[in-house]
Amino acid sequence: MARIVMKFGGTSVADLERIRHVAARVKREVDSGNEVAVVVSAMAGTTNRLVGWCTQLAPLHDAREYDAVVATGEQVTAGLLAIALQALGVAARSWLGWQIPLATDDAHGKARIQSIEGAELIRRMQSGQVPVVAGFQGVGPDRRVTTLGRGGSDTSAVALAAALRADRCDIYTDVDGIYTTDPRIVARARKLVKIAYEEMLELASVGAKVLQTRSVELAMKERVRVQVLSSFDDGTSLGGDLPGTLVVDEDEIVEQEIVSGIAYSRDEAKVTVRGVPDRPGVAAAIFGPLSAASINVDMIVQNVSADGTTDLTFTLNRADLPRAEQTLGEHRAGIGFAALLADREVAKISVVGVGMRSHSGVASTMFRTLADKGINIQVISTSEIKVSVLIAAEYTELAVRALHTAYGLDA
């Protein structure tokens, strides 16, 4: 017997038929003797519709009212799934954030969980009832409804799993696990049986949008074993084998690969600030105003100085580019740059693996592989378990495929 939190995303509960399917899936877990709690998202499309209404009424609206409106999506699904479970003879009841309570801070629209009262839910699970928790929502210190930000139901599920001391948190999505890279680009991509939290975090932040980043951070902090699996295929657990990918502590991964996956992101833009005076404080002069405008900068490279001036290159989310150009333009006098160049046609390719900590040569393999394909590297950045490069966007698929082969990841 195990205690399991099952989380179902918006496409998994998109209509009544799929809600019935989810109920049957939950029943199977209950029937096999497990204690189960469920976390649900809003039915696919609902949240976008509700957000759209708020924005149409006022582009800048009260985040507390936004929360009251959008949190209803998950409330509907929780009630409907409880009804569907009861129809299958499974004892169930819905729980809203304020009823648990799942307490958050007062950062409406992107609140952070502060505590979850788990005792009553545990008591009910032990007596055979399935709590169906509305994801994405909590209650703030002002007793108003809060939401956790887009994708927040993943975080709800992981936090609930921690509070309930669950053995596992199963995240049902529209993919059936975490792959070595995007299977749409590399047909021979392999599904990973296990992946370390740190690797998942690096993959999440570079575009493999399976789990909300915060949910992975929380899982790592609370040591919650997370399983990513598909809500559509019906792979039952045979002989203890799990059908999805387990996100776990790296100590649990016995056969450590050096590189676990190749990620890419096309949402990048590159900015080069030409001819800035090479003196202390110039980086602060550039990045201070960007930070003040809430623009996140990713990779940064400063060229070697020549003639007392230098060039500074950085990358950022492409959607932020117009605001970054405007911000720097407004501060041109203070910074004293000669020209501003922007390039939208770039992509970031990342090689991720906790094995890098103990193995050298990962970066040089990457550089050589790209050079062999004639791909020019524009910017490089590294972390303990990741090497990222910026290249021309048109080489994205070629680079991902070549690296996937080079690190021995092909199935």
Among 11, 48, 86, 272, binds a copy of itself (CB under 8 A): 86
Q: Which residues of 356-379 are buried (b: 16+ CB within 10 A; e: fewer)?
A: beeeeebeebbeebbeeeebeebb
Per CB under 8 A, 144 contacts a copy of itself: yes
Least gap, CB of 77 to a copy of itself (angstroms)? 9
Nearer to a copy of itself, 67 or 268 (CB): 67
Per CB under 8 A, 248 contacts a copy of itself: no
Per CB under 8 A, 82 contacts a copy of itself: yes
Nearer to a copy of itself, 23 or 195 (CB): 23
List strands edge to edge, sheet with 137-139. Answer: 113-116, 102-104, 137-139, 145-147
Nearer to a copy of itself, 76 or 340 (CB): 76
Per CB under 8 A, 39 contacts a copy of itself: no
Instruction: Assess contact for 193 and 245: CB atoms under 8 A.
Output: yes
Nearer to a copy of itself, 62 or 345 (CB): 62
Per CB under 8 A, 158 contacts a copy of itself: no
Nearer to a copy of itself, 78 or 402 (CB): 78
Per CB under 8 A, 96 contacts a copy of itself: yes
Helix (H, G, I), strand (E, B) or coil at 188: coil
**β partners of residue 261:** 352
Per CB under 8 A, 3 contacts a copy of itself: no
Q: Give the interface size with a copy of itself as a residue count (CB under 8 A).
A: 37
Sequence-separated (6 or more) residues with CB below 8 Å from residue 204: 210, 211, 212, 213, 216
Per CB under 8 A, 98 contacts a copy of itself: yes
Least gap, CB of 144 to a copy of itself (angstroms)? 7
Nearest by Cα to 207 from 267, 254, 255 = 267
Q: How many CB atoms lie within 10 A of CB 409?
A: 23
Per CB under 8 A, 331 contacts a copy of itself: no
Sequence-separated (6 or more) residues with CB below 8 Å from residue 97: 71, 104, 134, 137, 138, 139, 145, 146
Per CB under 8 A, 62 contacts a copy of itself: yes
Per CB under 8 A, 66 contacts a copy of itself: yes
Give phi and psi for 333, each to the nearest 5.
Answer: -60, -45
Which DSSP string do the residues of 237-297 spell out, in sequence order?
--TT--SSEEEE-GGG-SS--S--EEEEEEEEEEEEEEEEE-STTHHHHHHHHHHHTTPPE
Enumerate binding residues for a copy of itself (CB under 8 A): 16, 19-20, 50, 53-54, 56-58, 61-62, 64-69, 71-72, 75-76, 78-80, 82-84, 86-87, 93-94, 96, 98-99, 143-145
